[in-house]
Amino acid sequence: MLRRQFSSFLIVGGLSTSAHYAVMIGLKELVHAPVIPSTLTGYVVGGVVNYILNRRHTFDTQRTHAEAGWRFAVVAAGGFFLTWALMAMLTGALGIPYILAQMFTTGVVLVYNFIAHRLWTFRATRSETL
Q: Quick one: pLDDT band at residue 103, thresholds 50, 70, 90?
A: very high
pLDDT, tens digit, 9 for 90 and up, residues 16-64? 999 999 999 999 999 999 999 999 999 999 999 988 887 777 776 677 7
Radius of gyration, CA atoms only, the chain: 15
Any residues with CB less than 8 A from the CB of 11 and at least 6 apart, and which? none
- Report the 3 state secondary structure along 31-45: CCCCHHHHHHHHHHH
H-helix or E-strand containing 110?
Answer: helix 98-116
Number of domains in the chain: 1
One-letter amino acid of 47: G
Domain that holds residue 90: 2-129
